[in-house]
Structure 1
Amino acid sequence: MGFNTWSSFALRVNEEDVRQTADLLVSLGLKDMGYTYLVLDDGWSEHERTPDGDLVADYSRFPGGMAALAGHIHARNLSFGMYADSGTSTCGGYPGSRGFEARDAAAFAGWGADYLKYDNCYPKEGDSVRARYGAMRDALNATGRPILFSLCEWGVEEPWLWGRAVGNSWRTTGDSSASWLSLVNNLDNSVGLARYAGPGAWNDPDMLQVGNPGLTLGEQRANLALWSLLKSPLMISTRLQELSNASAAILMAAEVVAINQDDLGGSKEIYAGPLAGGDRAVVFFNRAEHDEGAAGARFTLRTEQVGYQEDTAVRVRDLYARRDIGTFRGRFSARVPPHDVLVLRLTPEAAPILEWEGGRWPRDDGWRPWTGQAIYAEHEEDLENIPRRKTEGDDDALEDAAVAI
């Protein structure tokens, strides 16, 4: 989460704009909401490298230089982001980093950069996109400074399939603009890609347009809400000096932003459906592409989510292991490794309070019909305060019994 200068200042950006933006992120309360990265986009450098091959700031617009600007940003407990391009020139016609990856990465790290947006303009014919982005990844890693690496490849070669091994986020679309058509197009091109994202690796349908002329307040609300649900990076890109109270309130919608920042990352899903006699079939599915540790990801299921009363005693059977795990009340937890499942049969010791009617339980609890699609995913930290009754064997022992399939 943070701010990118492109939609607000484009190639006209200057040092004073960036310093004011840093101050406003703090004074408006946006930093405290989590908008902590301030990314300087295209147009910050001179049009030519030095005779030694170095990138330098355009001192007519950045008289203090990059290190001093980074210091101003860091002094406000913000993170400093920079822009470069994987081709021979940036999209705005400034020097690209192709062939200069190690030199440029060292410069960014030396100036105190915490983030790099890496664009895709002006490649040489025959260049491999993955190789170009991989070269900068290696150069950044070699600096020893933690730098978040944002791949601005525009979704051309399906970076969601390979981006996790190269960077921390990858553009799924072309640039966004302050028009409804642009937002809907970027949304449509990003839906269905959640399976490839997770903590530390995100799909990116480009920066927010909240606050920019061209969108109604309703469209601005839709922009933030849908980008939050997509778990996209939330990068403001409007002139904070001119931000209206109404647009500020949208950006400061804490409960909407909390959806975006939930660390589930879309990797844990629970499927469920009815069986004869009131039993339920439940599948814990871990679609994560990365390893959460030897024990795998922790899943938690509440009894009322499958139509049972909270205090109903429910017997749990592991169908692949062909063994009974035990009886629980209130909720049941287990761990599942990446690319794996835990398949359960739940048998209540009392009749369920809800009957299956026309393909769903008649309640508004967020579950979908038994269709073979993902019907539920929730981070376990949300469940810690749910009242429950302890039983013999306790839930911790039951969880331990269900760790491995």
Structure 2
Amino acid sequence: MRLLLARWAGPLAVKAAVFITVMCCALAALLGVLVHVSVTDQTVGNARDLALSRLSDATRAYEAGDTLLPNAGVDPEGLPDSLRALALSGRRGTVVSTHRGRPTMWAAGPIQGHRALAVEIDYSQQSGTIAGLDTSILWSSALAIGATVLVGVFAVSRVTRRLHATARVARRISAGDLDARVDDPRTKDPVRPQDEVAAVAAALDSMAASLQSKLLSEQRFTADVAHELRTPLTGLHAAAELLPPGRPTELVRDRVAALRTLTEDLLEISRLDSGRERLEADAEGLGALAERVVRASGTETEVRVVRDAVVETDRRRLERVLGNLVANAHKHGAAPVLLTVHGPVVTVRDHGGGYPEYLVAHGPQRFRTEGGAKGHGLGLTIAVGQAEVLGARLSFRNAVDGGAVATLILPVASQAR
């Protein structure tokens, strides 16, 4: 079963928590073993000294013929075999075992007659002390580990939350929102030391500001050029109309018309860049609108209505988008060109060489064409901009069997007319 984690609790927070837990467990285990060994050695050593001391007293009493103490005896019942063998070999020793259901410290040594004299001491108190110590070590280690993990996770979560906030801003910037900023408080207070996260946030904000400045400069340049060209082109167009009929006149008029189209495209792009475009939405039938666009284009484009739909849209802008897609398919692709309406989804497909890789990956870019294609790359740029104004989504891909496919997904009208 997958763990349900908070949005900020990503892999970094989980790894940090696991690392802290493992290190705390290792440290607690090491300290616990050291304390256990030290206390056990001391406790066992004291019990052994006491047992050997009583064994010496019992040995002197046995040799003097006195009565042995109650806890001393010759070859007593329950004496561990290993200690009995040690005593019969002529040496003295001690061992802890269970006798009559309780821990017992035995001490044994040799006596005459190849027998063993042994003394037993109740080891219950010492055994209980060691067991209580072990329990205390386990509980204190668990509490210390829990507290350390909580503090560590809290500290790491603060860093991961800031990292996630920075990542969200980066995604907004990549989506085109150049007004997005992290605005980390640490970057604005020169007194507070800046950590690595604050440095990344400051670098991201600086990059966004630089990109925004360059984009605004480019937009202003495009708008200024288009406006400056519009007036002389109007005069040039009027002068071309006064030229006498002939082939040179046709060439001049054709080039003037192309230049006027380019200027109008630049003006349209500058208006889209400004973000001041407003919709004049109304319910429109997609099938009939697609037929009108194809007729107006004067191209041999097949219109296929799989399922008609009514959408809330700006008719002029939608006609501009579809017109640009159809014109691009005929200009840069190859016949047959098919415009398909399937509900709120409109596709325009040709059977040429397909879109360039950069266009499929990043979308159309103004003044960029590849493969010897003619044009300025403005038609599809305008189509994307107008689609955004419509609230639609325009995507580009290449068909598996060849050809370029542009897909426009429109919002559906809430009520049909």
Same fold (TM over 0.5): no
| TM-score normalised to structure 1 length | 0.21
- Tell me which structure has the larger Cα radius of gyration: 2
Q: Which has the higher helix share?
A: 2
